[in-house]
Structure 1
Amino acid sequence: MADKQHVVLITGGGSGIGLATARQFANAGHKIILAGRSKSRLEAATNHLPGSTALPLDVTDEAAVTVAFENLDSQNMMPDVLINNAGAAKTAPLHRISLDDWRAALDVNLTGVFLCTRAVVPHMKKAGFGRIITVASTAGLKGYAYTSAYTAAKHGVVGMTRALALELAGSGVTVNAVCPGFTDTDIVRASVSNIVEKTGRGADEALKELTKHNPEGRLIRPEEVADTIYWLARAGAAAMNGQAIAVAGGEVM
């Protein structure tokens, strides 16, 4: 990123990849807006990040997203860099997924990305600069059993990224996705607990079920994903557009 200070908005910014990314940008002196549903978690995070503010927000609520970005605009705080990181995963065989569960997965993992992205595009186009970076998943590039709704949503995110990149080509705004493999976050810890509960296996054995997908045999660290996001936001990454970059230790090539 150039030396200019930017406003960086990170959804799902209170923990995991979002928080690791916030630290990366904050350490470089950028203004950080951490958005998420847990006000207490956001405030705890901003207390340790210089130049950061908390924005309680449900990205699946169209009216709330509209109001939030209108307020940012009135404060001259519209983001130059949007990092769509909010997401959730629930595992189950397809025939046991309710319609409500299906819709909830698409809402948080795909529709929330659409709503926040739509809100920033006019500002970025007018400014002639912008970075829209969405944390997708290797599930946006391949399939995993028992994750039909999540995988469908993440494939949708990658498709939207590629389409919007073409729409905005030449405007100074780039659109990319980062696709981590299984990462050491709350989502993966919940998956391990779910495997333990449903199969009776120990936690270590359950974790191996996830890390076996990575040729390096380990979880990805949130900081490794944050480094990739930070690089995509730099001025020197202007030629990177419409990409879905796997951060997965060689799982996807």
Structure 2
Amino acid sequence: MPGLPHSLHALVTGGGRGIGRQVASVLAQAGATVTVLGRHRATLDQAVAAGAAHFVAVADVADQAAVSAVIAEASRRQPIDILIANAGVAESAPFAKSDAALFRRMIDVNFMGVVHSIAAVLPSMRDRNYGRIVAVASTAGLKGYAYVSAYSAAKHAVVGLVRSLALELATTRVTVNAVCPGFTDTDLLAGSIDNIMKKTGRSHEQAVAELAKHNPQGRLVSPEEVADAVLWLCGEGAGAITGQAIAVAGGEV
């Protein structure tokens, strides 16, 4: 496994489970000191106990004041060199049943959560002229899917933010990128599978197949595959990679 250029401090939002936990683990194995941020301390503590991270920070990414406070505290241990803005939620509904509250929930967590996290780490990165910012977006940020218009809109916003901020920071050594996984085998996806089963009467295997068919490889993406892409973007060799939205989706996009 490739290492990181020197002893870096990485902060992973939504780092207690799924893709976030796998990313945290990979970064820790590569030599980073890793802080995982999330809403549920017990889940974060489990990640530390398993060796996937070193420290925890408890906050809801939709709460800017809380995010700023816990990131400031984490930064006092060591300035944050790497931000993985991974925290997210997904809800599905036809547009006709997607009220303003649903759109706000998707925007507040999936987009504003990224904004709040970046805002908290960027001043220090600019002062030190070094940083890696990676947002975990989705193929839903690159294309549309039926019945997830609010989620897709939020993820499109993340990709737009990444592309614009990368240009603002192009003359610095701070890079900004997104990884866009397709349907990935996580507990978050398990909720979507349960929803398909309840609404359609399909079996678990049929529900998984319904999602996997979007991937030309005919399978779900693994969290490890997403984490490997993130690790590469955090490495020294990716210094010229910025403003990109990299699909990890078996050729779907």
Classify the TM-score, shorter chain. Answer: over 0.9
Matched residue type, 1:238: G
TM-score under structure 2 length normalisation: 0.97
Mark the runs of 5 or more structure 2 residues left unpaired by the alignment: none
Report the CA distance between 1:49 and its aligned residue: 1.3
Report the CA distance between 1:220 and its aligned residue: 0.2
Number of aligned positions between the proteins:
251
Separation in structure 2 between the aligned mates of residue 108 and residue 96 of structure 1, nearest angstrom: 20
Separation in structure 2 between the aligned mates of residue 175 and residue 236 of structure 1, nearest angstrom: 14
Aligned to 2:142: 141
Q: After superposition, what is the alpha-carbon deviation per residue over 1:130-158, rounded to whole angstroms, capped at 9, x for unaligned?
A: 00000000000000000000000000000
**Structure 1 residues 1-253: aligned runs within 5 Å:** 2-49=4-51, 52-73=54-75, 75-252=76-253
Q: Is the CA contact (8 Å cut-off) linking 1:30 and 1:51 kept in structure 2?
A: no
Separation in structure 2 between the aligned mates of residue 128 and residue 236 of structure 1, nearest angstrom: 16
Q: Deviating runs (4+, > 3 A) in structure 1? A: none
TM-score under structure 1 length normalisation: 0.97
Q: Is the CA contact (8 Å cut-off) linking 1:78 and 1:123 kept in structure 2?
A: yes
Residues 51 and 41 (structure 1), Cα distance of their counterparts in 2 relative to 1, 3 Å cut: closer
Report the CA distance between 1:170 and its aligned residue: 1.5
Q: Is the CA contact (8 Å cut-off) linking 1:140 and 1:152 kept in structure 2?
A: yes
SS at structure 2 position matched to 1:25: helix
Identity level (%): 50
Separation in structure 2 between the aligned mates of residue 38 and residue 17 of structure 1, nearest angstrom: 16
Q: Is the CA contact (8 Å cut-off) linking 1:136 and 1:178 kept in structure 2?
A: yes
Residues 51 and 15 (structure 1), Cα distance of their counterparts in 2 relative to 1, 3 Å cut: closer
Q: Is the CA contact (8 Å cut-off) linking 2:83 and 2:118 kept in structure 1?
A: yes
Matched residue type, 2:201: G
Separation in structure 2 between the aligned mates of residue 79 and residue 182 of structure 1, nearest angstrom: 30
Separation in structure 2 between the aligned mates of residue 180 and residue 238 of structure 1, nearest angstrom: 22
Q: After superposition, what is the alpha-carbon deviation per residue over 1:203-233, rounded to whole angstroms, capped at 9, x for unaligned?
A: 1111111000001110000000000000000
Matched residue type, 1:142: K
* TM-align CA RMSD: 1.1
Matched residue type, 2:156: H
Mark the runs of 5 or more structure 1 residues left unpaired by the alignment: none
